[in-house]
Amino acid sequence: LSGLGVATATAITAQLMPRTLMTEFSVLAGLVAGMAIGFRRSTSLTKRVSTSDALICLAAWGINLFAGYPLWTGWILRTAAFVTSLPLIVVLKAGLPFLLTFPVGVVLSIGHRPYDFGGKSTYSVQTIGLVAMGYIAAALSGFAVLTIGLSVVVVSLIAATGLSLSRRGQATGGRLGGLRVPALAIVTLATVVTMGNFDPSRSERVLFSPIAVSALRNGVPVHQLTALDDGRFIGSIATGEGRLSAWIHRGTQILFRKDGISSEYRSTNTMLAPHSAADVVPSVFGLTAHPAVNNVLVLGLHTPTLTTCQQFPVQEIHVIERNNLAPQFAESVLGDSVWWSDDDRVSFHIADPLLGTAARPRKKFDLILAPQAQSVTLEGSLLASETVLRRIRSHLAEGGIFCQRLAYYDLGPRVVLDLVEAFHRQFPNMLITESIPGELILTGAISPQPLLTREMADRLQTPQARRVLAEVGLDWASVMGRGALDSESTENLIQESSEFQRMDATQLAFTIPSETVRWGDKALQTRQRLSQHGRSMAILVKPESLAQEVDQRLEDLRLAQQIQTEHPDQPWAYRPIIKRQLTDRPRSAIVQVKGEGLKNGLHPEDQRRKDYLWDLGMVSKQEHPPLSEILELQEYTEPFDPLLSLFVHYEVARLLGRIDEASAQDRFEQLVHTVYHASATDVSVRNICAAIELLCHDSKTVVSQQERWDHLNGLMEALSVRWQMRLRSGRKLEYEQVDLDHTVKAAKLALKTMDTLRPDIGVSENDWEIREQIFESRLMEPLHRRRGQLLKRVTLAPQKREK
């Protein structure tokens, strides 16, 4: 039973902080310290406390684990928010698992008398062996996952055993004496009363969210931290490998967590909301860096990586996943947006991904992907081991490539350089690329051939690569424009960083957890150190004409962002820019002309832009254009064009609003696309208000009431963020008063509709009241204050004198 209790404490710790080598040692240290103190006073304790009393105490300890769960959550949350001293942070975080297992060690020692061995007192190893057996049995059976049902069984089992011993006379004496039965009754009652305190879905929302920690530091009440964003808990599963949970954002984006830590973020409908670039770009990079990928090995289930591989012409996709329930859970959440069950190329292997690489390679792979980015976890820190990297290298075919994600949001230069150096020792031919700000792709090849080539740039322009990148809102030039360090630059970086003392894999496993909680602008420091040696990938590739082409496309991306920033709610500002480029910067290319062979003509992309403007003009001239002609304009969104794709959806949504034949769902999808695929600097609000009004007034906009709630919640969140940006900027925007009135009307309608939907979708009244308070404080109150300022300005405006 004590072994089961230790496993329970370990799993509770995993819900409060990442499971690292430090937390594992803290759990063990607490148990050993408790046993040491207990064994030291074993004789006196045995006289005063019977075995039955000890079991009741163990049951009370189990209740305390769950009853005190909000307290443990507050402990870790306030430590992260307010404690700035690194040694104190480490002591507080390591102290919690220590204290959780310390009582188990004390109780475990009760009743174990010392044996005389050669004139000295010693203790039987049977106790330690039984504890280890209980812990292993719990881990193998999934007992350590801590669902409430299992916790009740554990406590009830302990209490029943104590009562049984008491009735049979096997547990006589002790301090409790005749109070055992009332004590057991109290323990059982406490189990029923406090079982609701253990709620990992709430703790993972605040403990593993930088937004929540920052909000608490800025004075946001604790009870509001669970409602800071639009995320809604949609399901979880308890397994022997940890707790898997899923959250829905923006109506279609799913966030998967493992023991609270984000593992992936993807969309079930990229027409409405994009995938996460951080989850997709690394696999695209690997699939295009290799000249001809036939088989891929993915270390751990990661659905964005898997579905990206499926869209490329590869023959085999092997996934090593230690949790046999993870694929079924992902399929149940994602539904039809994943299709690996029907793809004969995909095969799953249930094994530990890193231990699986220790097996003798029976098959070599062209590409191996390590898609999990967090190095703070126990599994992530193992990738810093040269032994593991050497095993991965042995599974690569000739010319094979290994791609590893590395998030450095919370890592300073010293740790990142140690991780890079360990990688470089096994893969001297390597490339460091920044996929998004805060994340790196470490790419290594066993052949000396360069990883960055003109051919790779060409492969990024293939239909499948451009389609996948468009689903995250990126162009192929966005990838080629990222900063990178080739092998030579990496060697220089390592040599010039001699001021840091190098750490081996074991030291890193202990250092990374403390590094992640250290205060400081670590990501900026790391980025500055890397930028001293990095250059754009387009510059590293020859010839120079590629760099010019990439620069032109990046300029188009910059112009598109500028339009959204400087002309909110006026998306048609892109039209004169396209016309000007066709006139001032026409691009030529050798094209095939029917009946005339090859001729020098307009570049295909410029020709598509010219055709689009013509078709748009013909449709817009009609007062009631045919629905088919409006929908045909969507064909110009693919392949992705930086100056065209996003704005086509604005035009289609506008034209659909002019005809009665258009369905509300079609117009809603176009509007939502313009919201979630837009630049982060876009402060347009009219498209959001129009989408909210469609959701509230037309029941055919979405399929279910849950979808309606999730979309309203996401759009209200977007509305709040954009108005906060507007008000902070201090810019004088045209028609601001009209936008204010429109927003207030739409927001009130949304809140009323959500209040009506709440009982049907399982959102508690308390949770909705908190979320409503967030909307009031972050959206409605600032809008009312701004409206008062505008009205006051109009009232105080000087009147013109009459002549």
Q: Could you report the per-residue pLDDT of 599-616, keeping only the tens digit for each? A: 667 888 899 999 999 999
Q: Which long-range contacts (CB under 8 A, 24 or more apart) does 573-580 make?
A: 574/643, 574/644, 574/647, 575/613, 577/643, 578/609, 578/613, 578/643, 578/644, 579/613
* Local confidence band at 144 (pLDDT 50, 70, 90 cut-offs): very low
Residue 153 is predicted with a pLDDT of 45
**How does pLDDT run across 301-353, given as a tens digit for each residue?**
999 999 999 999 999 999 999 999 999 999 999 998 888 888 999 999 998 88
DSSP state of 80: H
Residue 424 CB burial class (10 angstroms; 0-12, 13-18, ≥19): buried
Q: Is the pLDDT of residue 247 over 70?
A: yes
* Local confidence band at 474 (pLDDT 50, 70, 90 cut-offs): very high
DSSP state of 564: H
- pTM for this predicted structure: 0.90
Q: Lowest-confidence range among 17-26, 314-323, 672-681?
A: 17-26
CA distances from 513 to 2, 90, 175, 518 (A): 28, 9, 43, 9
Q: Is the pLDDT of residue 50 over 70?
A: no
Residue 152 is predicted with a pLDDT of 43
Can you tell me the mean pLDDT for 286-293? Answer: 95
**Tokens 């339009």 correspond to what residue?**
563
Q: Lowest-confidence range among 23-32, 342-351, 395-404, 746-755?
A: 23-32
As a whole number of angstroms, the distance between CA 564 and CA 570 comes to 8
The more confident residue out of 16 and 734 is: 16
As a whole number of angstroms, the distance between CA 206 and CA 277 comes to 24
Residue 413 is predicted with a pLDDT of 92
Q: Is the pLDDT of residue 592 over 90?
A: no
| Token code pair at residue 482 | 């990222």
Residue 585 is predicted with a pLDDT of 81
Cβ-based neighbours of 220, under 8 Å, separated by 6 or more: 228
Domains, the chain, in order of start with CATH, read 2-198 (no CATH), 261-268+279-449+483-537 (3.40.50.150), 558-582+608-795 (no CATH)
Q: Is the pLDDT of residue 28 over 60?
A: yes
**How does pLDDT run across 183-225, given as a tens digit for each residue?**
556 666 666 566 667 888 899 999 998 899 999 999 999 999 9
Give the residue among 166, 51, 40 at the shortest CA–CA distance from 111: 51
Residue 385 is predicted with a pLDDT of 84
Q: Is the pLDDT of residue 777 over 90?
A: yes
Q: Is the pLDDT of residue 463 over 90?
A: yes
How long is the chain? 803
Residue 9 is predicted with a pLDDT of 81
The more confident residue out of 496 and 625 is: 625
Consecutive H or E run containing 620: helix 604-620
Residue 403 has phi, psi (to 5 degrees) of -120, 125
Mean pLDDT of the chain: 85
Give the residue among 249, 254, 211, 210 at the shortest CA–CA distance from 236: 254
Give the residue among 312, 535, 284 at the shortest CA–CA distance from 431: 535
Give the residue among 724, 640, 235, 240 at the shortest CA–CA distance from 463: 640
Residue 491, SS3?
helix
* Local confidence band at 111 (pLDDT 50, 70, 90 cut-offs): low
* Local confidence band at 180 (pLDDT 50, 70, 90 cut-offs): low
**How many C-alpha atoms does 275 have within 13 Å on its Cβ side?**
24
Q: Name residue 532's beta-bridge partners.
A: none
The more confident residue out of 565 and 197 is: 565
Q: Is the pLDDT of residue 649 over 80?
A: yes
Q: At what angle do helices 148-167 and 2-16 cross, to 10 degrees?
A: 150
Q: Is the pLDDT of residue 631 over 50?
A: yes
Contact 251, 718 (CB under 8 A): no
The more confident residue out of 282 and 497 is: 282
As a whole number of angstroms, the distance between CA 28 and CA 220 comes to 36
Count CB atoms within 10 A of the CB of residue 748: 11
DSSP state of 365: E
Consecutive H or E run containing 416: helix 413-426
Consecutive H or E run containing 192: helix 180-194
Give the residue among 405, 426, 587 at the shortest CA–CA distance from 505: 426
Can you tell me the mean pLDDT for 362-377? Answer: 89
Largest CA distance in the chain: 119
**How does pLDDT run across 698-753, given as a tens digit for each residue?**
988 998 999 999 999 999 999 999 999 999 988 888 888 999 999 999 999 999 99
Residue 600, SS3?
strand
Q: Lowest-confidence range among 134-138, 571-575, 631-635, 645-649?
A: 134-138
Consecutive H or E run containing 347: strand 346-350
Contact 11, 3 (CB under 8 A): no
Give the residue among 35, 5, 79 at the shortest CA–CA distance from 517: 79
Q: Name residue 402's beta-bridge partners.
A: 368, 444
Consecutive H or E run containing 87: helix 86-109
